Amino acid sequence: MPSTQTALLQDHETSLNTLQARISYHFADQQLLLRALIHSSFAFEHLYVGQHNETLEFLGDSVLDLTLGSMLITRYPELREGKLTRIRAAMVNEHWLAGMAKDIQLDRHLLLGRGEESSGGREKSSILSSAYEALLGAMYLDGGYDTALAFVRRQFEGHLNTQRDNLLMSDPKSALQEFLQDRHNEGPVYTLLTQDGPAHARVFTVCAAFHGEELGRGQAGSKKAAEQLAARSALARLLGTGQ
C-alpha cells in the first residue's frame, strides 16, 4: 500500500483502536481494517487507486451469507430451506445492516470524500451497509472463518428468534400447518366453537387443536380471520414452550 496509508494509520490510530474495542476484535493487519473504512469517494480524492472497501464488501457479503446460514440451520433444523432463506434475507438487507453498523458506531469511523461527507454520507444506508460487510470481509481475511463467525454471532444471535417469529406470524395458519407437518406429519384441526351476534356483525370463535388438545383460540368477524388468530395463538404457545 502507498506510504500515505501508513500515515493514515497513524492519524487514525485512536479511532481504529476505539472501533476494535467496540467489536471485541484486534486486527493483526491494521491496514485491512483501515481499508474496510475507506469509501470510494475518499480513495478517489486521495488517489488511492483501488484502495477502498468495495472488494472487501464483496467478500463480506459472501461471508455473512455463510456464517448466518450456518447459525440458522443450527438454531432451526426444523425449518425448510425457503423459510431459512427468507429469515436470512430479512437480516442482510441494506436497511438492517445499516442498523447493525450504527450499533457498533461504524459511521463515526468511515473515511469519506468531501462530497459524501457534506451530503450526509454517514447516514446513508447504502454506505453503512457496505462498510459493515467490508468490515466483516476484513475480519475474515485477518482472522479466518471462526473470527468472522464469532462476530456475526455476537451481532445477530439476539435477533434470530424475532425474525423467525415475524416470518411465521405473517401467515400463522400456513406456518402452524408446516410446523406440525414437519414434526408429526399431520396438521391442526380448526373447529368453530361459537357464532354470535346479528347477521351484519357476526363474531366467530375458532379453536385450533392437534390430537384433541386445544392449542389456541381466535375470535374475529369472519371464520377465516378467526382461524388465523387461533393459529397465531397456537404458534405463540408452541414457540414459547419449545414444543
Catalytic residue among 61, 142, 178, 227: 61
- Is 213 among the annotated ligand-binding positions? no
Catalytic residue among 116, 133, 142, 227: 133
How far apart (Å, rounded) are the C-alpha atoms in residues 98 and 87? 17
- Is 57 among the annotated ligand-binding positions? yes
Q: Name 154's Cβ contacts closer than 8 Å, sequence gap at least 6.
A: 24
- Is 133 among the annotated ligand-binding positions? yes
Is residue 133 part of the annotated active site? The answer reads yes
Q: Name 16's Cβ contacts closer than 8 Å, sequence gap at least 6.
A: 9, 30, 33, 34, 109
Catalytic sites, residue numbers: 61, 133
Task: List, as residue ranges, the binding site for Mg(2+).
Answer: 57, 130, 133
Task: List, as residue ranges, the binding site.
Answer: 57, 130, 133
